[in-house]
Amino acid sequence: MSKRLAISIVAALAAGVVSPLLRAQTAAPQAAAAEKWNNVPPPLSTYKDKKPSGPAPRRDISGQWDSGFIGAMGAPEHPASVPVGPQPVGRPDETGIAKPLPYTPLGLEALKANKPSRGVREIDSALSNDPANLCDPLGFPYMFLWEFRAIYVVQDPLKVIMINPYHAGVRIIWTDGRPLPKDPDPRWNGYSVGRWVDDYTFVVETTGLNPRSWLDHVGRPHSEQLRVEETYHRVDRDNLTLTMRIIDPKMYTEPWFAMNKFPLHLLPADFDIPELLCSPSENKAYNDLYATPAIREPAK
Amino acid sequence: MAHKLGIVAFVGGLLAFSIPLFAHHGGASFDTTKTVTVKGIVTDFVWTNPHVLLRLDVKEANGTVTNWVVEVWNPVTQTNRGWSRTTFKAGDEVSVDVTAAKNGRPIGMIRGRIVINGTEFKETAAN
């Protein structure tokens, strides 16, 4: 057998063995690609006691982060729910909740004017004056205190961009050293600057927030004086915590924590976060078909 | 088929202490102390925000047909629970446990058991 023939036989045998493998390798990504849209996050229990895949990178909070899901009972540190039993309906204030907030008289008045569809003061959803019920932008920090499920965080040398696909919230946090604006026009998402206080701790300050928005889904108010301070701490490669402090002397007698070391978990880099948008036409159809007919006393 | 349709009510008072309410709204409009089983034929399945809606024609004992509207969460949460926009289709014969509106209208929030064409539909656990 000539050397050339031997090489041809080996090549043919190799092709017969390898090509199915190649097909399998190319087919697998195609199959996986079909799964790469509207991904479902893992149950939160899978994060418990999970060994981190590596140490925290320096000055980096980029990635897709899973918060689990912040439901509708308000700021996680001060949920507007009662400890036991069914939720009461239509209570005028938040008397009886486990960790009441330090409202000023004006703050309490503003709270009562906000009619939520969740929490101890909830009323029929079709009668709520929650800006979210009109498909107004949630704004910040409402977007992190309700429907906070998973976000994209993108970093470049000048800024950090946070994209919340739920209600389409986008925040730009400038890290170029600029000061906060002195007399800003209010914006739904405000004006944010961030700085690294050490290699693993990123602090964000936000002002200039639109007082038309609520703080959370249970109707906590804020004024144009609101300042929000967030502290992101990168624990390791897979874990980030978020602490959020609310400072609004017009509505609250002292600052309070809305979130305290709230855990965020790193999702795979190719995780596709589904959208959840408030469509005015869909919202109207829902109210016409369902929420309005469900009002306890028919509307007059 | 008429004997299979209709509604059956039973008291589920204890459930009110354990069932989570919806993210967008709570139970103010609904009698969360009771669960009602609604059986009927699907006329529409609306896979949109803020809540997914299922419409059912329910034949009452007197022969009249009532169109019920029942809801679950939004498409994202339902997807996480193993639902899709094709979970129900028009013509399906279904039975769903719901918490019904206090005002007596045929409106409710799905709670508990779901049976589609004779097979129980099991949701997956979700956050």
Residues of B in contact with A296 (CB under 8 A): 28-29, 102-103
A20 band by pLDDT with thresholds 50, 70 and 90: very low
Average pLDDT in the A147-167 region?
A: 96
Count of structural domains within chain B: 1
A5 band by pLDDT with thresholds 50, 70 and 90: very low
Average pLDDT in the A221-228 region?
A: 98
**Mutation test of the interface with chain A: which of B49, B54, B78, B109, choosing the one with the most A Cβ atoms within 10 A?**
B49
pLDDT digits (tens, 9 = 90+) for B52-78: 999 999 999 999 999 999 999 999 999
- Is the minimum CB–CB distance between B47 and chain A shorter than 8 Å? no
Q: Could you tell me the residue range of the domain that residue A194 belongs to?
A: 59-291
In a domain, B15, yes or no: yes
In a domain, A132, yes or no: yes
Residues of B in contact with A90 (CB under 8 A): 28
Distances (CA, A) of A165 to A43, A141, A194, A275, B36: 19, 15, 22, 5, 35
Higher-pLDDT residue of A266, B123: A266
A163: tokens are 């994209």
CB contact under 8 A, A294 and B105: yes
Strands (E), chain B: 6-11, 34-46, 53-59, 65-71, 93-100, 107-116, 119-120
Q: Which residue of A has its CA nearest to B81?
A: A40
Q: What is the dihedral of CA A220, A188, A258, A121, to 10 degrees?
A: 20
Give the CATH number of the domain where residue B104 resides: 2.40.50.140
**Mutation test of the interface with chain B: which of A47, A142, A286, choosing the one with the most B Cβ atoms within 10 A?**
A286
CB contact under 8 A, A286 and B25: no
Residue A1: pLDDT above 60?
A: no
CB contact under 8 A, A86 and B79: no
A51: tokens are 């060994």
CB contact under 8 A, A41 and B107: no
By percentage, how much of chain A surpasses pLDDT 70?
A: 86
Contacts of A252 (CB under 8 A, 6+ apart): A101, A102, A103, A104, A107, A246
Residue A28: pLDDT above 50?
A: no
Per DSSP, A287 falls in state: I
Q: Could you tell me the residue range of the domain that residue B42 belongs to?
A: 2-120
pLDDT digits (tens, 9 = 90+) for A176-203: 999 999 999 999 999 999 999 999 999 9
* Contacts across the A-B interface (CB distance below 8 Å): 116
In this structure, what are the phi and psi dihedrals at residue A291, rounded to the nearest 5 degrees? -70, -45
Residue A26: pLDDT above 60?
A: no
CB contact under 8 A, B71 and A290: yes
Please tell me the distance in Å from B7's CA to the nearest CA on chain A: 18
Please tell me the distance in Å from B16's CA to the nearest CA on chain A: 6
In a domain, B125, yes or no: no
**Mutation test of the interface with chain A: which of B11, B21, B29, choosing the one with the most A Cβ atoms within 10 A?**
B29
In a domain, A41, yes or no: no
pLDDT digits (tens, 9 = 90+) for A256-288: 999 999 999 999 999 999 999 999 999 999 999
Distances (CA, A) of A31 to A24, A27, A204, A209, A259: 10, 6, 41, 45, 40
In a domain, A32, yes or no: no
- Is the minimum CB–CB distance between B50 and chain A shorter than 8 Å? yes
In a domain, A19, yes or no: no
Count of structural domains within chain A: 1
CB contact under 8 A, B17 and A40: no
Query: What are the start-end ranges of the H helices in chain A?
Result: 3-34, 105-113, 142-145, 280-286
Instruction: Classify A100 as helix, strand or coil.
Output: coil
Peptide bond into A274 cis (omega under 30): no
Specify burial of residue B47 (Cβ count, 10 A radius: 0-12, 13-18, 19+). middle
- CA-CA distance, A156 to A212, in Å (whole number)? 31
Peptide bond into B50 cis (omega under 30): yes
Residues of A in contact with B47 (CB under 8 A): none
Among the partner residues B17, B30, B48, nearest to A282 by beta-carbon distance: B48
pLDDT digits (tens, 9 = 90+) for A35-81: 789 999 998 899 998 999 999 999 999 999 999 877 789 999 999 98
Residues of A in contact with B26 (CB under 8 A): 72, 87, 89, 117-119, 122, 125
Among the partner residues A38, A72, A90, nearest to B28 by beta-carbon distance: A90
Cα A190 off chain centre by: 16
Among the partner residues A87, A118, A296, nearest to B29 by beta-carbon distance: A296
Among the partner residues B26, B29, B30, nearest to A118 by beta-carbon distance: B26
In a domain, A29, yes or no: no
Q: Are B113 and B88 in contact (CB under 8 A)?
A: no
Q: Are A107 and A251 in contact (CB under 8 A)?
A: yes
